[in-house]
Chain A
Amino acid sequence: MGSGTSTQHHFAFQNAENAFRAATLIQRWYRRYAARLEMRRHCTWRIFQSIEYAGQQDQVKLHDFFSYLVDHFTPSSNHERDFLNRMFTEERFPQDAEMEKLSDYESIEVPDSYTGPHLSFPLLPDHATALVEAFRLKQQLHARYVLNLLHETRKHLVQLPNINRVSTCYSEEVTVCGDLHGQLDDLIFIFYKNGLPSPERAYVFNGDFVDRGKDSVEILMVLFAFMLVYPKEFHLNRGNHEDHMVNLRYGFTKEVMRKYKTHGKKILKILQDVFCWLPLATLVDEKVLILHGGVSDMTDLELLAKLDRHKIVSTLRRKTRENEKPATTQKKATPPSCAGRPTPWFLPQSRSLPASPLRLGSCGAPRAGRSSSIPCSGPADAEELARRVRRSGDLEMDRCRQQAGFLGSRAQGELLLVTPEADSDADEPPEPTQEEWKQVVDILWSDPMAQEGCKANTVRGGGCYFGPNVTEQLLQKYNLQFLIRSHECKPEGYEFCHSRKVLTIFSASNYYEVGSNRGAYVKLGPALTPYIVQYQANKATHMLTMRQRISRVEESALRSLREKLFAHSSHLLGEFKKHDADKTGFISLSDWAEAVESVVRLGLPWRMLRPQLVSSSMDNTLEYKSWLEDLAKGQLSHENIQSSLLETLYRNRSNLETIFRIIDSDHSGFISLDEFRQTWKLFSSHMNIDITDDCICDLARSIDFNKDGHIDINEFLEAFRLVEQSCTEGDTSDCPQATNTKGSGCSKPGTP
């Protein structure tokens, strides 16, 4: 107490102190809250990435499967043999003459009722601009114009070098954009915000224009149109998704066939070629190297500049010259099962055959080969049999391909096998060497890492991880300032690493989910200082608070994660039981985390995620059986089918879809019941899945809704709630997402 003023003082001081303490408490508490949000955001990101990369690994595994097929599967009947052979016979890869025929768009009529954009060639800037506007209004370009444009594009691309050069002397600024992945909104936004391409405004698009998003076709049309209109200023680099094999899995093939039912196949065929002709890299002022993935410690720009890039049809698999010499082992970055394996036609390869001499052989006498040979079916037309007998091993593969009409290299003076289906020889370039192929794979698939060195990129299954020393070495060797690459989604749309010598630029905003990340592009002026612009092409996200944004994205990630967990239910149960020796039905949460990781192997922080995945647990234990049942309840729709079968199908569904598309060689969307059964049998024998024939038959029949002996791929997948709404609503990509069964919309399969 004391005199008035000192009391006032005292209270004032008290109040101030109280306010201070109150504020501190609130701030402390808020910061903790924000930190937890941040952690959730990071975890969500990790979930998406690990699932995405696991999917890419799957693709490599899929190719292993096909190789395995070729090597080891012994058809047990004519039927199966025929089926396998059908898989091996395919139309020839189109030659130049045929390419002309394929792009014969002139015969395609554009009906009067067509209200979309019209193109005439040579293209003018206004046409390209009009195209953007038309697509913005959701119009679709007629197949005739698509083919015409692709034809012209191809003509143009053929003249370009592997490494394009841009100079800031001519264009005052160069804008570099990264992955777009079919997200047209982002492209439109970039042009809106940065301005349309012009002689003063050069653009470089760094690959991955297609797949996943729903407007890959439109993006290509716009990019190609501007490239034709401003050939000196508008540049495209090839990405790992500019590849017909990758497209089979990641949605582009599906999109084309859906939008162009009549001419889709033609379009895809030409695109296959156009993709191979895309340049590999762009150099700005001889100082800034722009390429899609990255580099390796073996990257040789001179070699890259010289090689025939057209020979690299797909970077997923390279046919090897096993018969000539052992594949020279480049120690890094060769996909695990690549070396020394024969490659069936449906796997990507160059057009020509290896240089080995081929023998037709007589009517199918079983040949002692590496694996068991096929029992001869008996008397049949020799030629017919010659065409149908399958022998395992390298020679057989070559022969099949020869039958299918792939041509040998006359330049090397080989024996050319003439069969009824073979055509006259065109100028066939030899296939790429192992070295050349690896060089291209490296620049399209590699990712930077923080540690020094260079090691195989096992996550992606191709290319390598390259460290700061590798970057430095390359920059010095070629007198460059820095590297711009894409290939990896970044939360802010861009990221510097290696002491700012490597810039990752990613232009597909909201890539995983609305609110997941920003997109960005980078501008370079004559000083070559990177100037980054970020955006998020979705107005909705701006309205959400960070908390809401994170929640949305998180929920999406968790959905995917729960799906994945469900797909491994049997394994999980097995693992849980191991931790429950006393058979109490309970395990500790710690054991739960360990078990889950050992099964799904995603490297995720399970203890952090546990509250979101395990809703009921008492005093740190979990009744695992009911947890699994709860998981299943969230996923199952089809009580008729055994749940293990469902689970297996579920786990393999993206693989299945890819396989179906490969089998469905005319892209009709239908496969016969028989083909379906055969496919499943092959697949399950490889995967060691124990499912009876009857079960498969029942399954097949139950899915054939109209009982006409055909299964629509979509129907099949729909029956198991595997099809994303994208098929009918034109929405998202091929990322795994649980969907709602449109129960009323689709007919339920009849009881088997």
Chain B
Amino acid sequence: MADDKEREGTEIAVAEYHKKIKEAFEVFDHEANNTVDVREIGTIVRSLGCCPSEGQLHDLLAEVEEEEPTGYIRFEKFLPVMTKVLLERRYRPSPEDTLLRAFEVLDPSKRGFLTKEELIKYMTEEGEPFSQEEMEEMLSAAIDPESNSIHYKDYIAMMVVDDS
């Protein structure tokens, strides 16, 4: 009895996930032929609530690409993989305070901010480096032009509001 209910619950969840995935996919399916450019997969996956690293994304791509990569990802391949990701709750985003602590690691003297140069250095040299475009975009929103620094607590708060 409980098993049936659980199965039914999962079925409903799966059906709903399917619809969500399909919607997100279709936004980038410009040619209306159930394919998207491989470069958009990251956006699609992330907009469905996941927060993979670039490395994890790369692994995911390997699962959905054709044997001979065409530059396009087909929906038939994407759907089951992505459904599994959602069901397993893979690549969950970190909570806000983890993010705050990450900034604090980079700001060991606990000033409450990072200078523009420091931010650039960390984001473009450490971890999975930003492209120039990504860096510029982050700077334009994050940097307080007067102090030329990023007050990360405020920044996080602002981004979180937008996200919800």
Say yes or no for A43: interface residue by CB 8 A criterion: yes
Contact B102 A25 (CB under 8 A): yes
Contact B99 A450 (CB under 8 A): no
A450 is contacted by which of B15, B33, B134, B162 (Cβ under 8 Å)? B33
Q: Which of B11-36 contact A (CB under 8 A)?
A: 15-16, 19-20, 23-24, 26-28, 30-33
Say yes or no for B138: interface residue by CB 8 A criterion: yes
- Residues of chain B within 8 A (CB-CB) of A451 are 31-33
Say yes or no for B70: interface residue by CB 8 A criterion: no
Contact B94 A29 (CB under 8 A): yes
Q: Which of B39-66 contact A (CB under 8 A)?
A: 42-47, 50-54
Size category of the A interface is 35 or more
Contact A24 B24 (CB under 8 A): no
A615-B127 Cα distance, complex, nearest whole Å:
38
A394-B44 Cα distance, complex, nearest whole Å:
55
Query: 0/1 per residue, B92-106, Cβ < 8 Å to A?
Result: 011000110111011
Say yes or no for A79: interface residue by CB 8 A criterion: no
Closest to A30 in B: B138
B31 is contacted by which of A450, A590, A593 (Cβ under 8 Å)? A450
Contact A590 B16 (CB under 8 A): yes
Separation in Å of the B31 CB from the closest CB of chain A? 3
Separation in Å of the B46 CB from the closest CB of chain A? 3
Say yes or no for A740: interface residue by CB 8 A criterion: no
Say yes or no for A695: interface residue by CB 8 A criterion: no
Say yes or no for B123: interface residue by CB 8 A criterion: yes
Question: Which one of A18, A24, A26, A606 has the greatest number of beta carbons of chain B within 10 Å?
Answer: A26
Q: Which of A432-463 contact B (CB under 8 A)?
A: 449-451
Say yes or no for B141: interface residue by CB 8 A criterion: yes
- Residues of chain A within 8 A (CB-CB) of B16 are 590
A29-B24 Cα distance, complex, nearest whole Å:
19
A672-B26 Cα distance, complex, nearest whole Å:
49
- Residues of chain B within 8 A (CB-CB) of A20 are 126-127
Query: 0/1 per residue, B135-155, Cβ < 8 Å to A?
Result: 001101100000000000000
A37-B158 Cα distance, complex, nearest whole Å:
14
Closest to B104 in A: A22
Contact A33 B162 (CB under 8 A): yes
Say yes or no for B128: interface residue by CB 8 A criterion: yes
Contact A26 B103 (CB under 8 A): yes
Known: A545-B140, A607-B20. A34 touches B134 (CB 8 A): yes
Say yes or no for A574: interface residue by CB 8 A criterion: no
Say yes or no for B117: interface residue by CB 8 A criterion: no
Contact A593 B19 (CB under 8 A): yes
Say yes or no for B130: interface residue by CB 8 A criterion: yes
B128 is contacted by which of A18, A27, A39, A546 (Cβ under 8 Å)? A27
Contact A605 B26 (CB under 8 A): yes
Contact B27 A449 (CB under 8 A): no
Closest to A16 in B: B126
Separation in Å of the B145 CB from the closest CB of chain A? 11
Separation in Å of the A528 CB from the closest CB of chain B? 27
- Residues of chain A within 8 A (CB-CB) of B98 are 25
Separation in Å of the A270 CB from the closest CB of chain B? 42
A30-B54 Cα distance, complex, nearest whole Å:
12
Separation in Å of the A465 CB from the closest CB of chain B? 10
Say yes or no for A501: interface residue by CB 8 A criterion: no
Say yes or no for A35: interface residue by CB 8 A criterion: yes
A465-B129 Cα distance, complex, nearest whole Å:
42
Separation in Å of the A354 CB from the closest CB of chain B? 40
A46 is contacted by which of B27, B46, B128 (Cβ under 8 Å)? B27
- Residues of chain B within 8 A (CB-CB) of A36 are 46-47, 163
Query: 0/1 per residue, A533-550, Cβ < 8 Å to B?
Result: 000000000000111000
A19 is contacted by which of B52, B93, B126 (Cβ under 8 Å)? B126
A33-B50 Cα distance, complex, nearest whole Å:
10
A38-B32 Cα distance, complex, nearest whole Å:
19
Query: 0/1 per residue, A561-585, Cβ < 8 Å to B?
Result: 0000000000000000000000000
Say yes or no for B159: interface residue by CB 8 A criterion: yes
Separation in Å of the B12 CB from the closest CB of chain A? 9
A37-B159 Cα distance, complex, nearest whole Å:
11
Separation in Å of the A407 CB from the closest CB of chain B? 47
Q: Which of A1-49 contact B (CB under 8 A)?
A: 18-39, 42-43, 46
Separation in Å of the A108 CB from the closest CB of chain B? 52
A449-B146 Cα distance, complex, nearest whole Å:
48
A27-B125 Cα distance, complex, nearest whole Å:
11
B94 is contacted by which of A25, A545, A590, A608 (Cβ under 8 Å)? A25
Contact A32 B50 (CB under 8 A): yes
List the 4 shortest-distance A-B pairs measured between CB atoms, nearest first.
A23-B127, A35-B46, A450-B31, A23-B126
21 contacts between A and B (CB under 8 A): A19-B106, A21-B105, A24-B126, A24-B127, A25-B102, A26-B106, A27-B54, A28-B51, A28-B52, A29-B94, A30-B130, A31-B42, A32-B50, A32-B51, A35-B42, A38-B43, A38-B47, A39-B24, A39-B27, A39-B43, A545-B137
Name 10 extra pairs, CB < 8 A, besides A24-B127, A36-B46: A23-B127, A27-B54, A27-B127, A30-B134, A35-B45, A43-B27, A546-B137, A590-B15, A605-B24, A608-B23
Which B residues are within 8 Å of any A CB, using their own CB?
15-16, 19-20, 23-24, 26-28, 30-33, 42-47, 50-54, 93-94, 98-99, 101-103, 105-106, 122-123, 126-130, 134, 137-138, 140-141, 159, 162-163
